[in-house]
Structure 1
Amino acid sequence: MTHIFAITNQKGGVGKTTTAINLPASLVAMKRKVLVVDLDPQGNATMGSGINKNEVERSVYDVITHQCHCAEAVQHTPEAGYDLLPANSDLTAAEVELMSLKMKEHRLQYALAEIKHEYDYIFIDCPPALNMLTVNALAAAEQVLIPMQCEYYALEGLAALMDTIGHIQKVVNPRLEIGGLLRTMYDPRNSLTNDVSDQLKAHFGDAVYSSVIPRNVRLAEAPSYGLPALQYDKSSKGAMAYLAMAGEMVRRVEGIKAPDTAHITG
Structure 2
Amino acid sequence: MILTFCNQKGGVGKSTTLYHLARAAVASGRRVLVVDADPQGNTTEALTVDVPSDAAGVADALSDASTDTLRDVLVEGVWDGLTVAPTVGEALNAVRDEIANSHRPGWESRLRRQLEGLKDEYDLVLIDSGPALDTLSTNAFTASDGVLIVTQSTKWSLDGLALLLRTVDEVRRYYNPTLEVAGIVLNQHEALTSGGKHYAGELEAAASENSLRLLTPYIPKRAPIKDAVDFSRGLDEGDYKARPLGKLYSALLEQIMEGTGR
Deviation at 1:120, TM superposition (A): 1.2
Q: TM-score, normalised by structure 2?
A: 0.89
Structure 1 segment 117-128 matched on structure 2, within 5 A? 117-128=120-131
Residue from 36, 39, 43 that aligns with 1:38: 36
Matched, 1:245 2:243: no
Between 86-95 and 191-200, the greater mean CA deviation after superposition: 191-200
CA distance in 2, matches of 1:56, 1:80: 25
Report the aligned-residue RMSD. Answer: 1.9
Conserved? CA contact 2:49–2:78, under 8 Å: no
CA distance in 2, matches of 1:141, 1:53: 26
Structure 1 segment 98-137 matched on structure 2, within 5 A? 98-99=99-100, 100=102, 101-137=104-140
Conserved? CA contact 1:25–1:80, under 8 Å: no
Q: Give secondary structure in 1 for the equivalent of 2:216.
A: strand
Q: For structure 1, list consecutive stretches of 5 or more residues without a partner in the other structure.
A: 256-266
Q: Output one character per residue of 1:11-54: Cα deviation in whole Å (capped at 9) or x when no partner.
A: 00001000111101101111111111100111100001133454
Between 155-164 and 124-133, the greater mean CA deviation after superposition: 155-164
CA distance in 2, matches of 1:232, 1:104: 43
Deviation at 1:80, TM superposition (A): 6.3
Conserved? CA contact 1:48–1:228, under 8 Å: no
Change (3 A) 1:117 1:159: same
Match of 2:75 in 1: 75
Deviation at 1:226, TM superposition (A): 2.9
CA distance in 1, matches of 2:116, 2:238: 33
Structure 2 counterpart of 1:242, which letter?
Y
Structure 2 counterpart of 1:98, which letter?
I
Residue from 204, 207, 211 that aligns with 2:207: 204
Matched, 1:176 2:179: yes
Match of 1:218 in 2: 224
CA distance in 1, matches of 2:13, 2:122: 24
Between 121-130 and 232-241, the greater mean CA deviation after superposition: 232-241
Deviation at 1:230, TM superposition (A): 3.6
Conserved? CA contact 2:26–2:79, under 8 Å: no
Q: TM-score, normalised by structure 1?
A: 0.88
Conserved? CA contact 1:25–1:81, under 8 Å: no
Q: Give secondary structure in 2 for the equivalent of 1:84.
A: strand
Q: State the identity as a percent.
A: 30
Between 162-171 and 114-123, the greater mean CA deviation after superposition: 162-171
Aligned residues: 253
